[in-house]
Structure 1
Amino acid sequence: MVKRVAVLSDIHGVLPAMEAVLAEPDVTGADLIVLTGDIACGPQPTAVLDLLRGLGDRVAWIRGNADRELVEYRRGLRDSIPGPIGPSAARGLREDQVDFLEGLPTSLTLPVEGLGTVLFCHATPRDDEEVLLVDSPLEQWAQAFADVGPEVTTVVCGHTHMPFTRLAAGRLVVNPGSIGMPYGRPGAHWALLGPDVQLRRTLLDVPSATARIAADSSFEQVAKWADYCLNARCTEDQAYEIFGRQTRPSGP
């Protein structure tokens, strides 16, 4: 049984945001840090992976769709990646880092004090790109959980970059939001689990972080990218419009 879990999702290769969250006392004091995917696809992928891997067994890893796409790009299995920064991030990874991302699991289940058996995944338990939002119909949540065992009482996911908690299909659902690419409001969003659920936000010195990212990255449009992402210039309304156009799996 794990007492306290810090959940960090959708880091997207933003080192200053990652460092700020790791410095939080509740993250430092957590028994385990769980990364729910989309870790490296961003301006500082190598540094972010090295920092997190240096924490050893304190970190449990889950691969997200963006991590999978980096691997597929490097392996020659695809010739493009959604979003402008993906190819640059893929080229920046060392071969050992590509191998590491390729070997990551897509989900993790463990008991957390106060919450019971918790399943961690990136988007949903059945698909690393499926879009489910706080207001998605209950039948869509039920379909996404069709193969999840009855012992699982809490599901923690990421992918949509907007934090929320809700009940769906008899389970508590938690989305911590995004560390490096928040939608709706600035700040590095994360969650603390055990014995309850706390949605947390770490504020950044955005101009300083943007300047540092611009100095570190080889991506030509990195300053514009960092300004857009760290200032959360994608609003909730824009995010919902984008997600509403994406195709969801239609059945279990």
Structure 2
Amino acid sequence: MSSSNRTGSTPLTFILTCIPGLPMSSCWMALPLCCLYLLMLLGNCTLLWMVKTDHSLHTPIYYFLSMLSLADLGLCLSTLPTMLAIFWFEFTSLRFEACVAQMYFIHSFSAIESGVLVAMAFDRSIAICYPLHYIPDNESGGVIFMRGLCVVLPVAVLIKEMPFCRSHVLSHSFCLHQDMLRLVCGDVRVNSLYGLTAVILTKGLDSLTILLSYTMIIRAILSIVSREARAKAFNMCISHLSAVLIFYIPLIGLSISH
């Protein structure tokens, strides 16, 4: 780390904060968070084990659900440990390198999860709108993961070179790019521009693609004459719509709280 990122001989640390409006020592809040953490780990690991061991589940929809579980596990392991450390042990300081790493993994797994949702929406739209041209896709996982990891990498590299000479107090219980940028005392135009570009290229285009795909799906479903066939086509999309809402509603809430 460059000398501008140090205070004397001590590496720069960031101070994480509790959830706004809650005292730091809210042990009652740590219990449901811990239960949620364990449930997410158990649920995702169980799904991955079932898909791996049951050959009847080796289909595109379960393939995408497995990737979604991996991304969800990554987000869970990247965020909840620091939140629990704050509530249980009032451990609020995090070293600069650890904060950058956490920021990278949070944004990477978020981009991966968004990419999986796009792939699922595209897969369903082709299966429903153009069934004769539908080819099961089991090869896009590597591309989705590489996109998420690569598009966020410059963000981590750029912010690692920035001088931090203001307050080191972050506004969340984990490290986020826009939160860290507020503490930079140098020129952040390149960082901000690339961060905005990365958001547009991932979540912006992804949400637009999902919206377009489901517009096509809804039109195709409404044009089906048979009530049973229409209900079957609609049921195929319920689980994915639920996953989209679960992903984007907290994302919008986090953006508003910022």
So what's the TM-score if we normalise by structure 2?
0.23
More strand by share: 1
Q: Higher Cα Rg: structure 1 or 2?
A: 2
TM-score, length basis structure 1: 0.24
Richer in helix (by share): 2
- Structure scoring higher RCO (CA < 8 A, sep ≥ 6) equals 2
